[in-house]
Amino acid sequence: MVSGMGPKLIRGPAHEVRTRVFDSARWNGYRPRADDIIISTYPKCGTTWMQRVVCMLVFADAEPLPLSTLSIWPDMRILGPIDELMARAEEQAHRRFFKSHLPIDALPVYEGVKFIHVARDGRDAALSYHNHRLGFTADALARFDAVSLADPKFGTPYPETPSDPAVFFHEWLTSDLGDLGDARASFFHFESAFWAQRKHENVLLVHYIDLKAGLAAEMQRVAQFLEIDVPEALWPELVASAEFEAMKADGPKLAPRMLELFEGGPDRFFHRGTNGRWRDVYAKSDLELYEARVGARFSPSLARWLERGRLVAGDPREAAD
């Protein structure tokens, strides 16, 4: 256990975010260390991919290790009492890397603690999220139901996921409260919140498209941001192990708990990892509505970056708007 006063608080959460699945109040017992890493993404934007990358950088090893054990996820409501999760985090002697599906303005910011945000085009994220939601086991759904029913904010079961991805996208797009009951957990708020912090020295924005197009270079960006020196001879093995097909093959070791949560286990969780499939799926009217919401909620630079990534749209830190 690491002791001491801990890093200075720069700012606390600007507001609470509580959905049927995530709760920012579960971070209240977080005791930061100055070299902590928080990987915070909207669902299905490359969270596990980045956890795998950071894990290999932290341990300087390509061995597939259980990410759910090593990377604590405080905001997930079905993972049991938060005191137990935070106790596990306190016991970790390695450089810690947490997982979150909360926007940065719902999380505390401490001096030295680094945030990595991975983004993806919302149309791709929604399609992958639909498959994710359809894959939950009966046990996982029962746990979500129990949390949702017991919360006075909701008091109803976890919402059923429509089988048609086009219907799901329409609901995802048009719900003012987001698909799980809190507007500040929506894709549009999430991306706006991180974009507002894009120039902070302890915030790194990474894009799913860039991971696909230039994995080695993006991993080197992450290593540089985290101030981790990787032996040159080790890079080829680390990059090869972070490729999607390699991660899918290592799924049972990387995500051993997935059999409890998903029909088909890790194979279902690591689904396709591709972009652009939405073009033949969503209704034209909803695609037009998506474009309208992007135009209304995002600056031109943010909209371009979300659609095309850093390699095409430029570095977010250099964007003026």
Is-contact 74 85, C-beta < 8 A?
yes
pLDDT digits (tens, 9 = 90+) for 160-191: 999 999 999 999 999 866 778 899 999 999 99
pLDDT digits (tens, 9 = 90+) for 44-60: 999 999 999 999 999 99
Task: Supply the mean pLDDT for the chain.
Answer: 92
pLDDT digits (tens, 9 = 90+) for 265-308: 556 555 555 677 888 899 999 999 999 999 999 999 999 999 99
Please give the biggest Cα pair distance in the chain: 57
pLDDT in the model for residue 51: 97
User: Which domains are seen in the chain, by residue range?
Assistant: 9-318 (3.40.50.300)
The CA distance from 315 to 207, in Å, is 10
Amino acid at 310: R
Is-contact 6 32, C-beta < 8 A?
yes
DSSP E strands, the chain: 9-11, 37-40, 97-100, 109-110, 114-119, 203-207
pLDDT in the model for residue 4: 55
Higher-scoring residue by pLDDT: 179, 91: 91
What is the DSSP code (8-state) at residue 309? Answer: -
The CA distance from 113 to 101, in Å, is 17
* Sign of the torsion angle spanned by Cα atoms 48, 162, 284, 300: negative
pTM of the model: 0.94
> Which residue's structure tokens are 């090893």?
61
